[in-house]
Amino acid sequence: MERLGSSRHQIDLTGPPKKHKKDMSEALKVPTMADMMAAGETPDILFWVGCSGSFDDRAKKITKAIVKILNKVDMKFAVLGVEESCTGDPAKRAGNEFTFMMQAMSNIQVMNAYEVKKIVTGCPHCFNTIKNEYPELGGKSEVIHHTQLVQQLIDEGKLKVEGGEFKGKKITFHDPCYLGRANGEYEAPRSVIEKLDVELTEMKRSRANGLCCGAGGAQMFKEAEPGNKEINMERAEEALELKPDVIATGCPFCNTMMTDGVKYNDKQEETQVLDVAELIAQANDL
């Protein structure tokens, strides 16, 4: 599977040539840090794509949505491309501190060399690791979650949001553990969703009392342990009790786990699972 950002040159996120639309103006071009620096330019922000957003076919759609938003507001941004490695979060959570240190130090060296000041990422795991664990290893960059950036763009009047196809729909938001409990961010994603003129409903366990989707702590990459029910099934059922049109997420791992839960309950025709960035991009026909 080809990784997004695998070229040192501009990256085309529209897919293989045979799938390209005739109107090439619709192509999403993403510059790499190497290209921008070679041209004597400095981006305002580095978009940290993350492993999931680079390799997973479903998560690539979230990556594209974020890029569309950044392009819409004419933000000067870049990605690391092949110079971006895993943050080391899965290794650290699985107990392999040595692998984490190797991956972290490599990433920090690259970002410091480019003098990266600010980072935006669509993955709360990357967000938490770069924000809270990289500084003690020499990391110097500020990092924000994509929902925080979108909220800022809306508040500053740089991004106008309309409900579009979601106007009047019932949406519930699943709090990612590393965005919510780990970093105290509950309002940004909800504020963005409310701008769509929708009915935002809360699950019985939400915000600080939210239930984990089951993917954190490297659990997504191991077999389930003995029990009566998988945790993502429990969480999906809790969301489906509200009969929502959309279960909104702010994490590619949560998206996968909630999607599996919705499919397990055979509710994929009634309920979509979409990232907040996808909601904004689709509602505004980006």
- Mark out the alpha helices in 122-170 (DSSP H runs): 124-132, 146-155
Q: What pTM was estimated for this model as a whole?
A: 0.89
Per-residue pLDDT reduced to its tens digit, 23-75: 323 467 899 999 999 999 999 999 999 999 999 999 999 999 999 999 999 99
Q: Which residue has the tokens 């991004």?
A: 159
Q: Which residue has the tokens 């619709």?
A: 26
Per-residue pLDDT reduced to its tens digit, 229-267: 899 999 999 999 999 999 999 999 999 999 999 999 999
Q: Which DSSP string do the residues of 165-228 spell out, in sequence order? A: GGTT-EEEEPPPTTTTTTT---HHHHHHHHTT--EEE--SS-GGGPPP-S-TTTGGGSPPPSSS
Q: pLDDT at position 27, please?
A: 61
Reply yes or no on whether the pLDDT at 12 is more than 50.
Answer: no
Q: Which of the four pLDDT bands, split at 50, 70 and 90, describes residue 19?
A: very low
